[in-house]
Chains A and B, each alone.
Chain A
Amino acid sequence: MKNSQLYKGSLNTIIMKLLEENGKMYGYEITQKVKAITQGELTITEGALYPALHKLEAEGLLDVEIEKVDNRMRKYYKLTEKGTTETVNRLAELEDFIRNMQSLVNPKLAI
């Protein structure tokens, strides 16, 4: 992941936000979506993506669906009920963090 130190702590929230917006997504689709939204500024490597997805699944925040697509199995991730609630909390935390950073980095523009 580009600028990994800055983005690393927010990866789970980014994934959960994307799943909240798109319903269900598969691994490669998540990487491409992040790349497209950030116009190539942020790329999630497979080494960061899968541990994050598996951790969220183990915590019961994501559920898995398997479908056969184009001659292969595809594993879709979607938010569980607990995951949907947790996404709201984590997004609120992230927004607070961004606001605080904004105040510190550029006090004049702070809301």
Chain B
Amino acid sequence: MKLSPSQIDYIEHTLVKNDLNFDDLKFELIDHIASEIEMKMAIDEMSFTTAFYSVFENWKEQLRPSQNTVFLGRNLVAPKIVIDRLSFLKKRELLTGFGFCFIVTLLFYGMNTTNIFRSFLQNIEPIIQKVFLLTSILLTIFKIILYKSELRTTYSVLFNKSFFLAIPFCVIISLGGFSFFRTESIDNLRMSAVSATIFYGFFLFSSSRFLYQHYQFVKKIKRV
């Protein structure tokens, strides 16, 4: 027995009431829960209401409010299944970011001893600043478009989080705030400036990736 549109709406309404308002996960869970309910109605001959409560009882653990203050901050409280997914993606992003930043910073300092490399860096600094500025402007435009979008995904939430972290520093970098390439001496401050630029550069890239994944999902939904 297939569920009616109003019964599907009721499942969606219950999920949203439980703060599950991330479309990429919501559609998946609606289908799973609806399939379970249909099975119970067909095999156990339950009514929709009885099957609905029986199925939601099993989902209680996954829908309980949860948070991950380490990776997602204090403000984000959402069902456990959402927090688990966001934490996994964020952890993966941070580990890649730190690894990438560490290796590139080491390479930078290894090569920075040669005059040819120093002069190369001095020449590309204006280009790097322009790339940061252009990317920051583009991401800000997308942020505004995303704000008006009807669809909210786990990717768009992560984009927003990375965006607010990366943009202020990227604007500073693009305006020449960290002119480390022109500094002659290698000191701790310069090391921090290099690491920060690479790290926030990575965050810009990472934000763009989340944005891309969000629009990939939107594209798939619109095709249906």
Contact = CB atoms under 8 A, between A and B. Distances in A.
B4 A46 contact: no
A93 interface: no
Interface stretch (A6-14, A67-75, A97-105): A67-75
B62 A46 contact: yes
Contact of B28 (A47, A50, A69): A50
Interface string B109-126: 000000000000000000
Interface of B, secondary structure class, is: helix
A64 interface: yes
Contact of B62 (A47, A54, A58, A66): A47
A74 B33 CA distance: 11
Nearest to A47: B62
Given A66-B220, A66-B223, A73-B224, A28 B85 contact: no
B89 interface: yes
Interface in B42-66: 58-59, 61-62
Interface in A50-78: 50-51, 54-55, 58, 64-75
B92 interface: yes
A28 B36 contact: yes
Interface of B: 2-5, 8, 25, 27-28, 30-32, 34-36, 58-59, 61-62, 80-81, 84-85, 88-89, 92, 220-221, 223-224
